């Protein structure tokens, strides 16, 4: 018998670990995972051509309905004389500043009203007698038309705007990224000037807080690292949370999960082995199952694994800061003032927007650090941007 036939005969019998590993891989990656994950948006198996349009339309419709409900809610609330949120206490433990501007497109979604309704609900649900945060709406609209949603909220929340003199000084012709940065800096400084908060969260008007928003922030501020950080990002786009777009720390997490999965399976097979697998605690088999679980986790989608951490605020992970996006940022202590100074010292252009400026400052300035929270603490609902061009038909990806 030729040598290659002898080798094939030896390794392709069911009693061979090679044959068993091959069958297990084919069944897992070609049958089970495609069947389970083909509708999961952040999985590699997601069938974009079949489901993306309908899923995007469904999310847009739900957001529109939430916006209309929020509009009705705040119109009804504006007729009431009492408000729990209009008067802001001095030196609060936490100030939430919501940055907003008028939207030319997507006005009927009323993103700001959605966010404020959710914040109001979460504040009313705080435990104990003391309010867990003060809320400030920072309206940066500088055009000739008013921000109607912000105006509707004035009877319920403190709304701040630039004075006529400040508007005049800020009118210079600058690009979108620089204007957005200046608006952000104005809101950072305005919140500090008004109430001198101990900690600040700045969210944009399309960042919808999740139900555990305040408990998680309270937990973050109790951790020792918070005293030595410039900011903690509370959101990173789900499509960028994969291992195969790696931040260095994710590689260790990925390999660690693979090793845990491999160890668990091989230990289980010692006590329960209905399919007569012949795997053992050899280096080769540990390596195989480590790679097997690493591939399965990545192809399924790391985003869905992170969701398990929502069981408790203590399970939320903090890692080195990522580059992209600032829809929701926590500034512990007076770090919001330092962030404003750093932003003021840089001119923003395409490719060097405010998120990149903060990221670079946290990396290069001695003593400064930036961190990211996982999983996300807000849902980004802004299908239509107030500062950038919008597609005719927004999509989730």
Q: Which domains does the chain have, with CATH numbers?
A: 17-46+243-300 (no CATH), 55-240+307-380 (3.90.550.10)
Q: Quote the tokens at residue 99.
A: 């940055």
Q: Which helix (H) or strand (E) holds 121?
A: helix 111-124
Q: Are 380 and 237 contacting, i.e. CB atoms less than 8 angstroms apart?
A: yes
For residue 304, the cross-strand partners are: none
For residue 203, the cross-strand partners are: 98, 328
pLDDT of residue 16: 82
Please state whether the predicted TM-score (pTM) of the whole model is above 0.85. yes
Residuewise pLDDT in 10s, the chain (397 residues): 455 444 445 445 656 888 889 999 999 999 999 999 999 999 999 999 999 999 999 999 999 999 999 999 999 987 776 677 888 889 999 999 999 999 888 899 999 999 999 999 999 888 665 688 999 999 998 777 789 999 999 999 999 998 877 776 666 678 889 999 999 999 999 999 999 999 999 999 999 999 999 999 999 999 999 989 999 999 999 999 999 887 788 999 999 999 999 999 999 988 888 777 888 889 999 999 999 999 999 999 999 999 999 999 999 999 999 888 999 999 999 999 999 999 999 999 988 999 999 999 999 999 999 999 999 999 999 988 876 777 778 888 7
pLDDT of residue 273: 80
pLDDT of residue 169: 67
pLDDT of residue 6: 47
Q: What is the DSSP string of 180-214?
A: HHHHHHHHHHHHHHHH--SEEEEEETTEEE-TTHH
Q: Tell me the C-alpha distance between 252 and 256, whole Å.
A: 6
Q: Which helix (H) or strand (E) holds 291?
A: helix 283-300
Candidates 117, 94, 321; CA nearest to 214 is: 94
Q: Tell me the C-alpha distance between 16 and 9, whole Å.
A: 10
Phi/psi of residue 383, each to 5°?
Answer: -70, -25
Q: Tell me the C-alpha distance between 256 and 118, whole Å.
A: 37
Q: Tell me the C-alpha distance between 118 and 111, whole Å.
A: 11
């Amino acid at each position: 018998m030729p040598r290659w036939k002898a080798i094939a005969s030896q390794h392709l019998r069911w009693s061979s670990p090679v044959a068993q590993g091959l069958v297990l891989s084919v069944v897992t990656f070609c049958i089970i995972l495609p069947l389970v994950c083909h509708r999961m948006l952040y999985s590699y198996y997601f069938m974009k051509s079949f489901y993306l349009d309908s899923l995007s339309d469904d999310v847009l419709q739900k957001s529109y309905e939430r916006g209309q409900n929020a509009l009705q809610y705040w119109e009804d609330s504006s007729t009431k004389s009492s408000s729990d949120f209009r008067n802001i206490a001095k030196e609060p433990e936490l100030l939430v500043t919501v940055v907003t501007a008028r939207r030319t497109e997507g006005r009927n979604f009323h993103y700001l009203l959605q966010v404020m309704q959710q914040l109001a609900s979460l504040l009313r649900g705080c435990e104990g007698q003391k309010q867990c945060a003060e809320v400030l709406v920072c309206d940066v609209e500088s055009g000739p038309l008013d921000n109607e949603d912000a105006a509707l909220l004035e009877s319920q929340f403190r709304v701040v705007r630039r004075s006529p003199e400040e508007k005049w000084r800020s009118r210079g012709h600058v690009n979108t990224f620089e204007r957005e940065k200046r608006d952000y800096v104005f809101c950072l400084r305005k919140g500090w000037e008004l109430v001198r908060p101990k900690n600040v969260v700045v969210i944009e008007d399309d960042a919808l807080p999740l139900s555990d928003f305040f408990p998680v922030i309270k937990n973050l501020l109790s951790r020792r690292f918070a005293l030595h950080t410039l900011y903690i990002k509370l959101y990173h786009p789900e499509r960028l949370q994969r291992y195969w777009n790696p931040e260095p720390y994710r590689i260790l997490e990925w390999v660690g999960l693979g090793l845990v999965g491999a160890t668990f399976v091989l230990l289980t097979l010692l006590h329960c082995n209905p399919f007569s697998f012949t795997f053992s605690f050899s280096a080769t088999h540990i390596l195989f199952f480590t790679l097997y679980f690493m591939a399965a986790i990545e192809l399924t989608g790391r985003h869905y694994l992170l969701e398990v951490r929502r069981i408790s605020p203590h399970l939320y992970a903090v890692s080195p800061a990522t580059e992209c996006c600032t829809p929701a940022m926590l500034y512990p202590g007076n770090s919001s003032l330092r962030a404003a100074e750093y932003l003021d010292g840089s001119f923003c252009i395409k490719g060097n927007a405010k998120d990149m400026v903060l990221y670079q400052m946290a990396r290069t300035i001695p003593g400064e650090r930036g961190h990211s929270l996982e999983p996300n603490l807000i849902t980004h609902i802004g299908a239509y941007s107030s500062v950038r061009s919008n597609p005719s038909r927004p999509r989730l990806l």
